[in-house]
Copies of this chain bind each other. A is one copy, B any other.
Amino acid sequence: MYQDFDEEDRGGSTRARVSALRRALKARNLNGFLVPHGDEHSAGPEWLSWLTGFTGSAGTAIVLEAGAALFVDGRYTLQARDQAEASLFEVLVTPEAKVSQWIVTKLPKGSVLGYDPKLHTVREIERLNETVGKAGITLEVVAANPIDRLWKKRPAALSGPIVPHGMEFAGERPEDKIAKLQATLVADKADALLLTQLDSIAWLFNIRGGDVRHAPVPDGFAIVPAKGRPTLFVDPAKAGSNVRGHLEDFVDIAPPSAREAKFAELGQAGAGVRLDPETAPIRFAHALKEAGAKIVPGSDPCTLPKAIKNATEIAGARSAHLRDGMALARFLAWLDDHVGSGRLDEVRAAMKLEAVRRETGQLKDISFDTISAVGPNGAIVHYRPTNKGKLPLKGNTLYLIDSGGQYPDGTTDVTRTIAIGSPTKEMRHHYTLVLKGHIAIASARFPKGTRGQDLDPLARQPLWQEGLDYDHGTGHGVGSYLYVHEGPQRLSKLGSVVLEPGMVLSNEPGLYREGEYGIRLENLVLVTPPAPIEGGSREMLGFETLTLVPFDRRLIDASMLTREEKAWLDAYHADVRRKIEPLLKSDDRPWLRHATAPIR
Contact = CB atoms under 8 A, between A and B. Distances in A.
Given A454-B457, A458-B457, A446 B466 contact: no
A453 interface: yes
A22 to B, nearest CB: 37
Contacts of A536: 466-468
A540 B468 CA distance: 9
Given A455-B457, A456-B454, A533 B444 contact: no
Given A444-B461, A461-B444, A562-B562, A540 B467 contact: yes
Contacts of A454: 453, 456-457, 493
A552 interface: no
Contact of A461 (B458, B464, B469, B534): B458
A447 interface: yes
A451 to B, nearest CB: 8
Interface string A41-68: 0000000000000000000000000000
A448 to B, nearest CB: 10
- Chain A residues touching B, majority SS: loop
A576 B585 CA distance: 62
A539 B464 CA distance: 9
Contact of A466 (B461, B465, B533): B533
A532 B467 contact: yes
A457 B461 CA distance: 11
Number of copies: 2
Contacts of A466: 533, 535-536
Interface in A327-376: none
Contact of A467 (B444, B457, B469, B537): B537
Interface string A455-481: 111100100111111000000000000
Contacts of A445: 464-465, 467
A538 interface: yes
Given A454-B453, A457-B458, A458-B458, A464 B444 contact: yes
A540 B444 CA distance: 24
A469 B562 contact: no
Contacts of A447: 464, 469
Contact of A535 (B467, B469, B538): B467
Interface string A406-449: 00000000000000000000000000000000001001111100
A535 B433 CA distance: 13
Name, among A445, A450, A455, the residue most crowded by chain B CB atoms within 10 Å (CB to CB).
A445
Contacts of A535: 466-467
A533 B464 CA distance: 9
A468 B562 contact: no
Nearest to A534: B467
Name, among A450, A455, A465, the residue most crowded by chain B CB atoms within 10 Å (CB to CB).
A465
Contacts of A562: 562
A172 B562 CA distance: 47
Nearest to A96: B449
A454 to B, nearest CB: 5
Contacts of A465: 443, 445, 533
A474 to B, nearest CB: 12
A519 to B, nearest CB: 14
Contacts of A455: 457
Contacts of A456: 454
A17 to B, nearest CB: 36
Name, among A456, A534, A540, the residue most crowded by chain B CB atoms within 10 Å (CB to CB).
A540
A58 to B, nearest CB: 21
A527 to B, nearest CB: 14
Interface string A220-234: 000000000000000
A86 B455 CA distance: 39
A429 to B, nearest CB: 8
A533 B465 CA distance: 8
A538 B457 contact: no
A532 B536 CA distance: 40
Name, among A457, A458, A536, A538, the residue most crowded by chain B CB atoms within 10 Å (CB to CB).
A457
Nearest to A450: B457
A497 to B, nearest CB: 14
Name, among A446, A467, A540, A562, the residue most crowded by chain B CB atoms within 10 Å (CB to CB).
A467
A568 to B, nearest CB: 11
A64 to B, nearest CB: 29
A339 to B, nearest CB: 29
Contact of A537 (B458, B461, B468, B493): B468
A464 B533 CA distance: 9
Interface string A537-565: 11110000000000000000000001000
Interface in A151-171: none
A538 B458 contact: no
Contacts of A458: 457-458, 461
8 contacts: A444-B461, A446-B457, A453-B454, A467-B532, A467-B535, A467-B536, A467-B539, A468-B537
Given A445-B464, A445-B467, A466-B535, 16 more contacts: A444-B464, A445-B465, A446-B457, A446-B464, A447-B464, A450-B457, A453-B453, A453-B454, A454-B456, A455-B457, A457-B458, A464-B540, A467-B535, A467-B540, A468-B536, A513-B537
Shortest beta-carbon contacts, A-B, top 8: A467-B536, A467-B533, A445-B464, A454-B457, A466-B536, A445-B465, A562-B562, A468-B536
